[in-house]
Amino acid sequence: MPEDEIQDKSRRTFLKAMIVLSAGAAVAGVLKEGLSNLVTPSVGLTSFPSLLIVDTNGKPIIADNIPVSTSVPFLFDYPLSNDPNFLLNLGKAIPATKVSIPATGGSYNSPPGVGPNNSIVAFSAICQHLGCTPPEIHFYPPGTSVIGTAYTGSSNPGYIHCSCHGSTYDPNAGAGVITGPTLHPLPPVVLSYNSNKTLTAVGMTPGSPTIYGRVSDLTGGNPLSGSTTEVSYLSG
């Protein structure tokens, strides 16, 4: 074959290779971008934050001012934003309680109540059955009727009940399971009672279930900004 024909053939082969490589790089770029849009980034925290519980004006909640067993309980986000928790003053000392996990047969110790009367507790307000949130999951003060159940009057010592499918939890005993279909208790928040009568959320209880829908309590959502978490109120 003449030399100039050989050179032509080499050039054509080289150009074809370049075209194939460029096309491959373009496809890889599109795929990478598409995948990064499909896979939700796992944002979160590396450890539990200490968040002072404040009112909507940014002023610390004083433990003495939390109403006892009200049907309008405080809610606050912890450890990530959009992780609502009940903040309840049950009006009596709440001891540390061994809580069973029906799903696993295991158990853990829920923290005791804090505050001047050791009566303040906090639990995730996301139902452990299928994730219903307030107002579907609700605190019913002692003696009130728990909607859709036989718990009325003295048979209701103050229960948390989820109207989505009927799960009931006992906040007097670590938010353990009273009735299913849930097979997991509500995870308790560990609270610190400070010398100035304020409250700080410092962690989720070791050994308790993770917050509903989470592989870890620390990932899968956005951290709260700053060092406080603000209460809202569950009405109705």
Interface residue list for ligand FES (CB under 6 A) = 127, 129-132, 162, 164-167, 181-182
The Cα-based distances of 220 to 43, 214, 230 in angstroms read: 6, 7, 20
Name the minimum Å distance from CB 220 to ligand FES. Answer: 18
C-beta closer to ligand FES: residue 66 or 175: 175
How many angstroms separate the CA atoms of 67 and 127, rounded? Answer: 23
Q: Which residues lie below 8 Å from residue 219, measured CB to CB, with a gap of 6+? A: 42, 43, 44, 45
Name the minimum Å distance from CB 188 to ligand FES. Answer: 18
How many angstroms separate the CA atoms of 191 and 188, rounded? Answer: 9
Name the minimum Å distance from CB 184 to ligand FES. Answer: 11
The answer to whether 182 and 129 are in contact (CB under 8 A) is: yes
C-beta closer to ligand FES: residue 67 or 213: 213
The answer to whether 201 and 207 are in contact (CB under 8 A) is: no
How many angstroms separate the CA atoms of 230 and 34, rounded? Answer: 37
The answer to whether 82 and 107 are in contact (CB under 8 A) is: no
Name the minimum Å distance from CB 187 to ligand FES. Answer: 14
Name the minimum Å distance from CB 128 to ligand FES. Answer: 8
